Copies of this chain bind each other. A is one copy, B any other.
Amino acid sequence: MKAEIIAIGDELLYGQIQDSNSSFLSQKLTAEGIEVIFKTSVGDDINRIAEAFNIARQRADLIIASGGLGPTLDDVTKKAVVKAFKRNLIFHQEILNRVEQSFRKRGSLMPKINQNQALIPQGAKALSNFWGVAPGIFLQDKQTLFFALPGVPKEMRWMMENEVLPILKEKKPKHFILHRTLRTTGISESAMYEKIERLIDPKGEVKFAFLPAPLGVDIRLTIESKEKTRAQEKLDEFEQKIKEALGTYIYGTGEQTLEEVVGGLLSERKKTIAVAESCTGGLIGARFTNVSGSSKYFERGVVSYSNEAKIELLDVPRQVIEEYGAVSEQVAVLMAKGVRRLAKTDYGLSVTGIAGPTGGTPQKPVGLVYIGLAHPDGSFAQRFQFGNDRNENRRKASQAALNLVRLFLIR
């Protein structure tokens, strides 16, 4: 089965936003063993969208379009469907009821303009939209399966997973492409490559891909097979080998986040933690509490951005700050001990650093970060030197802090 993905929206052609929808759709289709042969982006123009649909029909068995289903005048995808597939729009009372209802749920009346969302091309099926108002469209035209999804990423993703994929699973030929992702942090792509190079065979059944990102490198294994169980066993075998080679650099698999892993470890051990943040400004607290159920182990956070806050809230002695500076090993340790004592938790975690772009000196350059950990048997701090990008330094510091807790818990 060959697929074409069509992204609709003027903004995609101006280059100001990345088309993450098409990437998501590509990934999902590839995972189902469906080959994506073209991706097209087109503006909010009825004729050009219809042209893109017509070209796609000639070369693909499956077309998935996203965008242009909203109620406003610049949303013209349905009109393009009418033009390309030569079908009229039919009014569906039950769709209107659903649209009205979704407005009522939010306590507002449906604006009149949303009425047109109850119009669906003849013979098409409306796809439900869990997170929004505009229904999607599924149309089977001779050999072509055609889907139109909303452009809002959250709505599109839900609809793809819950409405489109079940239909595709039924219609497509059966064979599997399985992926497995291993997530690492604290090691560079090339250092990792050297450690596992011997496992990689470009002609082998299991393909390797390295996906580097600022907070860590993911390793993605891919296998294509008609037999799901055998494929899974093969992936298990490779996962095991890689884990032996990389050890604690691997913190999780699949979509697991570092905060979920650390939260899981704290939960298992029935331990609690509190955080004192300076340069990360609340980012670590925000990451801990991203995880549902985090109130079991995350007791509190303190964003001691000013020196006064460090002194008053965390009992860091003023003279230590004056002698060693707010960004120092000594202050990191005292912040961690302070927040642990204050919150009466098992662990206290702290971060102090120079995020940049200003505030650096030759001795303490931008990107210098100390992370402190206080625990029942003592305390310590570790020094990190990141780069020049403020935002990235803050994110990397939050990652290193969470990872320090993980490594301490599994030591």
Contacts and interface: CB of A to CB of B under 8 A. Distances in A.
Contacts of A236: none
Contact of A74 (B45, B210, B282, B289): B210
B26 A15 contact: yes
A303 B290 CA distance: 13
Given A22-B15, A292-B358, A356-B292, A44 B281 contact: no
A52 B38 contact: yes
A13 B40 contact: no
Contacts of A200: 73
A295 interface: yes
Contact of A193 (B18, B27, B113): B113
Given A18-B23, A107-B385, A289-B355, 19 more contacts: A14-B30, A15-B27, A16-B220, A18-B19, A18-B20, A39-B40, A44-B209, A73-B200, A154-B389, A154-B392, A280-B289, A281-B301, A282-B285, A285-B285, A286-B394, A299-B305, A299-B308, A302-B303, A308-B343
A180 interface: no
A366 B238 CA distance: 42
Contacts of A299: 305-306, 308-309
A283 interface: yes
A71 interface: yes
A18 B18 contact: yes
A51 interface: yes
Interface in A248-285: 275, 277, 279-285
Residue among A71, A72, A305 with most chain B CB within 10 A: A305
Interface string A200-223: 101000011111111000001010
Give the top 6 A-B pairs by smallest Cβ distance, nearest first.
A15-B26, A281-B289, A282-B285, A301-B303, A282-B282, A15-B27
Contacts of A107: 385
20 contacts: A14-B36, A15-B36, A18-B20, A38-B48, A39-B42, A55-B55, A108-B191, A152-B212, A154-B392, A275-B303, A281-B282, A281-B288, A282-B282, A282-B288, A282-B303, A285-B303, A290-B391, A298-B305, A300-B306, A301-B303
A357 B212 contact: no
Given A212-B152, A220-B11, A295 B300 contact: no
A144 interface: no
A39 B38 contact: no
Contact of A24 (B15, B55, B343): B15
Nearest to A306: B299
Interface string A305-341: 1101100110000000000000000000000000000
A396 to B, nearest CB: 12
A15 B11 contact: no
A190 interface: yes
Contacts of A43: 37
Contacts of A300: 302-306, 308-309, 313
A314 to B, nearest CB: 10
B302 A301 contact: yes
Contacts of A12: 26, 39
A166 interface: no
A25 interface: yes
Interface string A349-391: 0000001111000000000000000000000000001000111
A108 B394 CA distance: 22
Interface string A41-76: 111110010011001000100000000001111100
A114 interface: yes
A24 B18 CA distance: 10
Contacts of A74: 207-210
Contacts of A343: 308-309
A111 interface: yes
Contact of A11 (B40, B51, B71, B211): B211
